[in-house]
Amino acid sequence: MLKCTIENDQIQTLRNGETYVSYQVRTQSDLSVFEEKEFFVRRRYSDFEMLHNILSRDYNGYAIPPVPRKHTVTSFSGGSLSPIFVARRMHSLQTFLNRCISHPVISNSMHMYQFLENEFWKSYYHNAWMQAENASIKPPQEVNNGKGLEKSSIITEPYPIIVQENAKRILQNCETDLQKLAKACSQHMSSLQTFPSDITISKASNAFYTDGISSIFGILKKTNAQLLNVYQANILTSIQDLEDYLFIFKSMVKQREQKQKTFETIQLECSQISAIEASIANEQLTPRMNNDLKNSRKRITSSSQNKSTSLFTVPRFLRKKRSASSELANPIEALRICYQDLQQIDEKLDSEMGFFRERLEVETRWTLQTICDNHVNHFTDILQSINA
């Protein structure tokens, strides 16, 4: 069991005068990796960014949940320290953390454990980063070594795109559901925002009824404003977080499609080279065929240098420089490696899409439940105010 709650936001000031908001992360767990069953640490937004960065580096190919976007502070009264802004950010950080601790792979990461427990998180982060860079350590991945694929063989069969098509279908369904949810919430938000700011009462009405109606209208106006604030802080932010997460998976599928195209290109080039080399064996090589052979090898080498194996775009400072040893001059070897990459990508993509679909259902249900709970509280406050 692993449960994390973000609470108790505080505005803090550094010696240099910088002001920021920190949050208390409360963790409850029965895992043996932790010394206590319940413990607390304080984290700020930049700490969550660090966690996202190091997870992105060490778990390449997995759909790392997106860190909450930096909302445009000019749209909030009081800027980044305003209660509405802090509430929205805390809500998004909670969503980010929930996605991480529920992920079957990321939740078992030592980086996650250190983030939740280590008081010296920044020191751990920088040491872990530098150690990996200095040692040139590449995190272990589940490598499928081709399953009977010989290095010298040329793959002539097209690589199956079943996983890719399933992922695209799941994304389309998820996007449709998310659009319906966003539309329903937007319509309800509009009805809350058009609540009249004042009420006109006929002068001929009895003064007693006039005062009573005005009092009830004031109560309705106040509770309506509170409900609107809750929607801005929670519901709209939930939809925004889901849209950001959906974008990550769209990028994965897009990268998968690009890798498929790369494989097909190299496969075609290898077939041409095979035909030319067969002609060489039969002593039928012409000058033109010789030039075609050289050009094909150049195109494949260039393709292997320029295509990234990452499933999604990472920040520029996370990208590692390519070493000269990574250049492949052997087209058959390039085809074999590309084939293995597709196997690894499909395995992870299939797993990640299943997790994403589950998370979408959980977060959608939570959003709808929050809407219902807010309305119950809304009308309860109205009745209590009128009875008082």
Task: Please report where in the chains the tokens 């077939």 appear, as a residue.
Answer: 271
User: Can you give the pLDDT at residue 234?
Assistant: 77
Strands in the chain per DSSP E:
2-13, 19-29, 38-44
Query: What token pair was written down for 298?
Result: 């150049």
pLDDT at 182: 84
What are 299-350's pLDDT values in tens digits? 655 555 554 444 344 444 444 444 333 444 577 888 888 898 899 999 999 9
Task: Render the burial of 115-125: b for 16+ CB within 10 Å, e for the rest.
Answer: bbbeeebeebb
pLDDT band at 145, cuts 50/70/90? Answer: very low
Contact call for residues 370 and 235 (beta carbons, < 8 A): yes
> Residue 74 — very low, low, confident or very high, per pLDDT cuts 50/70/90?
very low
Residue 38 has a pLDDT of 93
Q: Which CATH class is domain 144-388?
A: mainly alpha
Q: What is the pLDDT of residue 312?
A: 40
380 versus 192: the higher-pLDDT residue is 380
Query: How far is Cα 298 from Cα 311, in angstroms, rounded to an integer?
Result: 25
- 94 touches 102 (CB < 8 A): no
Q: Which of 115-124, 145-154, 221-230, 267-276 has the highest mean pLDDT?
A: 115-124
- Residues 281-292 have pLDDT tens digits of 665 555 665 666
Q: What torsion do the CA atoms of 238, 239, 244, 246 make, to the nearest 10 degrees?
A: 120
For helices 236-281 and 162-193, angle between their N-to-C axes, nearest 10 degrees = 160
What is the pLDDT at residue 323? 37
Q: What is the pLDDT of residue 56?
A: 92
232 burial via Cβ count (<10 Å: 0-12, 13-18, 19+): middle
Write down the pLDDT at residue 148: 42
According to CATH, where is 1.20.1270 located in the chain? 144-388
Whether 49 has a pLDDT exceeding 90, the answer reads yes
Least confident range from 74-83, 214-223, 295-304: namely 295-304
In Å, what is the CA distance from 52 to each residue of 97, 177, 378?
A: 10, 27, 37
Handedness of CA 150, 151, 152, 155 (dihedral sign): positive
pLDDT at 24: 95
Specify whether the CB–CB gap between 76 and 82 falls below 8 A: yes
CATH 3.30.1520.10 residue ranges of the chain are 1-141
CA distances from 238 to 3, 89, 115, 145, 358 (A): 19, 11, 23, 41, 16
Q: 280 or 91: whose pLDDT is higher? A: 91
Q: Which two tokens stand for residue 182?
A: 């966003």
Per-residue pLDDT, 113: 94
**Quick one: pLDDT at residue 204?**
55
What pLDDT score does 191 carry?
72
**Residue 279: pLDDT above 50?**
yes
Average pLDDT, the chain: 78
In the prediction, which pLDDT does 285 show? Answer: 53
pTM of the predicted model, to two decimals? 0.74
pLDDT score at 293: 56
**Secondary structure (3-state) at 17:** coil
Structure tokens at 53: 């960065």
Q: Residue range 124-146: average pLDDT?
A: 66
Pick the CATH number of 1-141 from 3.30.1520.10, 3.20.20.70, 3.30.70.3400, 1.10.3720.10: 3.30.1520.10
**14-28: per-residue pLDDT in tens?**
888 888 899 999 999
The whole-number pLDDT of residue 197 equals: 65
Nearest to 175 by CA among 118, 106, 250: 250
